[in-house]
């Protein structure tokens, strides 16, 4: 996935833009979907998420007997995007997105909204919100080959003082659409998210940076290259002085990554220190030495 000036894109030879369908897919909790498109990108429709939401909801879904991939952050995640955007993601029982946007325009100024991302709330509060842009930027974008299909029928177009045409569906339609963008872009992390996302001036670039962080945390722990049984064949140390449990990365003669599992039951915590356990520095150095010894064994 990558960001473009107006959307997120899936990496492919055609660079397929992600617009309204990903947000609708995520809100309806669809995990396995085949989408055929007979053109270079998914149609913009009316510029909102609603056409995709209504079609997908009408089609229904079928349980496949496979557990959904769910990501719930173990601790808060903070990400700073570009252009002043920032994000905080905290654990929660379901997905909620709160966003604040700020534009120097009389119809927008500073807007805030917060919604739970359920099929019902998304359909009523977020799906109808359309994308928006400024009339002054239209010619520049078209000269760069962008926004060629945008019109008054599929976007909110703003002039210097207000709307260039039409009417708003909500007074805060702008921030609602931005929340939909967050939902759709974070769906590219490949999992259902149980978290409260607080976004300040969200952008596609910032959304995707957060999605990458979520995907990295949701990834399964790496399988050991060398497990404890093999380590005990290589090293003479035994518990409690064997201070490496598995090797997860190895590049001969160059680098190695090992893991030592530490629990509150470690004997050194009884005196170092009661009520405030700290692993002694000398043992941390010994653990590093044992891992380093495994790296150098082939050279000895």
Angstrom distance (rounded) from CA 295 to CA 299: 8
Closest CA to 199 of 86, 106, 60, 56: 86
- 192 and 168 in contact (C-beta within 8 Å)? no
Residues 6+ away with beta carbon under 8 Å from 3: 9, 203, 204, 205, 207, 208
What letter does residue 283 receive in the DSSP assignment?
Answer: H
The two tokens of residue 114 are 């917060």
Matching residue, tokens 């002694």 = 280
**Bridge partners, residue 115, by sequence:** 97
Terminal Cα distance for the chain, rounded: 44
Angstrom distance (rounded) from CA 213 to CA 60: 31
121 SS3 class: helix
Residues 6+ away with beta carbon under 8 Å from 160: 136
User: In which element (H, E) is residue 20 found?
Assistant: helix 20-27
Known catalytic residues are 204, 272
Angstrom distance (rounded) from CA 298 to CA 300: 6
């Amino acid at each position: 996935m990558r960001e473009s000036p107006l959307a997120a894109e899936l990496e492919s030879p055609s660079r397929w833009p992600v617009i309204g369908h990903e947000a609708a897919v995520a809100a309806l909790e669809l995990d396995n979907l085949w989408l055929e498109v007979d053109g270079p990108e998914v149609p913009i429709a009316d510029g909102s998420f609603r056409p995709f939401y209504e079609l997908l909801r009408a089609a229904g879904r079928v349980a496949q007997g496979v557990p959904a991939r769910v990501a719930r952050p173990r601790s808060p995640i903070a990400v700073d995007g570009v252009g002043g955007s920032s994000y905080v993601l905290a654990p929660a029982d379901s997905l909620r997105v709160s966003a604040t946007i700020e534009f120097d325009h009389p119809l927008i100024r500073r807007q805030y909204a917060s919604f739970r991302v359920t099929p019902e709330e998304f359909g009523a509060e977020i799906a109808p919100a359309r994308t928006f842009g400024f009339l002054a930027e239209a010619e520049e974008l078209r000269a760069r080959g962008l926004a060629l299909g945008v019109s008054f029928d599929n976007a909110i177009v703003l002039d210097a003082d207000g709307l260039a045409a039409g009417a708003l569906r909500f007074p805060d339609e702008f921030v609602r659409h931005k929340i939909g963008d967050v939902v759709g872009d974070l769906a590219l992390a490949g999992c259902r998210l149980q978290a409260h996302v607080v976004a300040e001036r969200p952008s596609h670039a910032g959304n995707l940076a957060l999605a990458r962080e979520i995907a990295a945390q949701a990834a399964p722990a790496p399988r050991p290259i060398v497990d404890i049984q093999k380590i005990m064949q290589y090293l003479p140390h035994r518990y409690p002085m064997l201070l490496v449990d598995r090797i997860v990365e190895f590049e001969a003669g160059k680098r190695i990554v090992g893991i030592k599992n530490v629990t509150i039951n470690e004997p050194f915590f009884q005196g170092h220190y009661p009520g405030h356990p700290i692993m002694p520095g000398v043992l941390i150095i010994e653990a590093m030495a044992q891992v380093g010894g495994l790296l150098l064994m082939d050279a000895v």
